[in-house]
Chain A
Amino acid sequence: MDHKYEDAFRVALQIDDVDLQDLKYRDSGWDSVAHMVLMSEIENAFDIMLDTDDVIDFSSFEKGKEILRKYDVEI
């Protein structure tokens, strides 16, 4: 199974033992600086460029999955 989405979070936020399913913006070091790193990791992983509005709306692990569907990325 492909773990690119989860790996992007682990690399960007430098976290290992965190339950990603419930992860939200402002949790576990997910601050505004880490957010831009996360967006870059996700764009690289899936070869997409997110709209600025989607970068702003990307507020949780689950919300991110919903946003990525717009880019034909199914997690």
Chain B
Amino acid sequence: MTSKSRLLEDKVALITGSSRGIGRSIVECFASEGATVYANCRTDGSFDTIARELSKLHEVEVIPLYYDVTDSILTKEAFSRIMKERRRLDILVNNAGIMEDALIGMISDELMHRIFNTNVFAVINHLQLAARLMKRGKSGSIINLSSVVGIRGVAGQLVYSASKGAVATLTRSASKELASDNIRVNAIAPGIIGTDLLEVLDDSLLAKRKTSIGFGRFGTPAEIADSALFLASDLSKYITGQILGVDGGVVI
């Protein structure tokens, strides 16, 4: 059943890294608010069933787009498809990312390149292709996923935190360059969110992490999706260049 007034009615969105966790929650949230959603995933066919279910449930179109975000040729083909099918793009959520720990002294070239290829270079590539489509309509909202560790830093995640810090900085720069075209660029800096990325940690470490959070609990993907909805919708139409911390008062 659909609500009468939906925040993203008639909007077209592309969300990267949609298969699970925060990305999947954003897809569900945006679809429930009336958006046509292109949901990027890496594995062919992995999102077909979910896309059909969401489309039916919310009376919208959720369209899987299968490609690796680090492949610039496939990325460009995805944008070409959106242009041909919709003639517009209103919202881009750069969510796809990878997180890996490595202590100083154990950081390989391969790790650096892999994390920056996905977390930074793919974000820039998507951002500039999206901006080209959004400029035509003189409007748009680009939302990048940074991280609390990208703002404050953390031991053991030098490369990951550097990549998320880069996302915060490129968000601010892009917001300045694209403001004259009425394209807003903001970032969300999640704290510790209860996704499967945390499953690798043991219980004692998880309990310790919770004590560092003001609210005393991990955030949920749905709470990040709500923030993305705010930044995607006209509720934030005068907001750009901001890094929105969604972290439950975490102290790092």
Q: Which residues of A contact B (CB under 8 A)?
A: 36, 39-40, 43-44, 47-49, 51-52
Nearest A residue to B128 via CB reads A52
**Best-surrounded residue of B76, B125, B132, B136 (most CB of chain A within 10 A):** B132
Determine whether the beta carbon of B80 is less than 8 Å from that of A49.
yes
Known contacts A44-B136, A49-B83; 17 additional CB pairs below 8 A are: A36-B132, A36-B135, A39-B132, A40-B135, A40-B136, A43-B83, A43-B132, A47-B84, A48-B80, A49-B76, A49-B80, A49-B132, A51-B76, A52-B72, A52-B125, A52-B128, A52-B129
* Pair B76/A52 contact, Cβ less than 8 Å: yes
- Interfacial chain A residues near B80, Cβ < 8 Å: 48-49
Chain B residue nearest to A37 in the complex (CB): B135
Task: Give the dominant DSSP class at B's interface.
Answer: helix
Total interface residues on B, using CB and 8 Å? 12
Partner of B79, one of A39, A40, A44, A49: A49
What is the CB-to-nearest-CB distance from A74 to chain B, in angstroms, rounded to a whole number?
Answer: 20
Chain B residues with CB under 8 Å of A44's CB are 136
Chain A min CB distance to B57 (Å): 32
CB distance from B76 to the nearest CB of A (A): 6
Residues of A within 8 A of B132 (CB): 36, 39-40, 43, 49
Least CB distance, A12 to chain B, in whole angstroms: 12
> What chain A residues lie within 8 Å of B84 (beta carbons)?
47
| Docked complex: B80-127 residues within 8 A CB-CB of A | 80, 83-84, 125
Q: How far is the CB of A41 from chain B (nearest CB, A)?
A: 10
Chain B 67-82, CB-CB to A under 8 Å as 1, else 0, gives 0000010001001100
> Can you list the 4 inter-chain pairs with the closest CB atoms, starting with the nearest?
A49-B80, A49-B83, A40-B136, A51-B76
17 CB < 8 A contacts A-B = A36-B132, A39-B132, A40-B132, A40-B135, A43-B83, A43-B132, A48-B80, A49-B76, A49-B79, A49-B80, A49-B132, A51-B76, A52-B72, A52-B76, A52-B125, A52-B128, A52-B129
In the assembled complex, the Cα of A62 lies from the Cα of B83 at a distance in Å of 26
Instruction: Write the chain A residue with the least CB distance to B79.
Output: A49
- By beta carbon, the residue of chain A nearest B180 is A33
Q: How far is A22 from B157 in the complex, measured between Cα atoms in Å?
A: 54
Please name all residues of chain B whose beta carbon is closer than 8 Å to the beta carbon of A39 when the two chains form the complex: 132
Q: Could you tell me the distance in whole angstroms from the C-beta of B158 to the nearest C-beta in chain A? A: 30
Which A residues touch B125, using CB under 8 A? Answer: 52
Complex alpha-carbon distance, A48 and B83, angstroms: 9
> Closest residue to B77 on the A side, CB-wise?
A49
Determine the residue in chain B with the shortest Cβ distance to A53: B72
Across the interface, name the chain A residue whose C-beta is closest to B76.
Answer: A51
B135: nearest chain-A partner, CB-CB? A40
Q: A49: nearest residue on chain B (CB-CB)?
A: B80
In the assembly, what is the distance between CA of A49 and CA of B76, in Å? 8
Give the residues in chain B near A43, CB-CB below 8 Å: 83, 132
Closest to B72 in A: A52
Residues of B within 8 A of A52 (CB): 72, 76, 125, 128-129
Give bound CA distance, A15 to B241, whole Å.
35
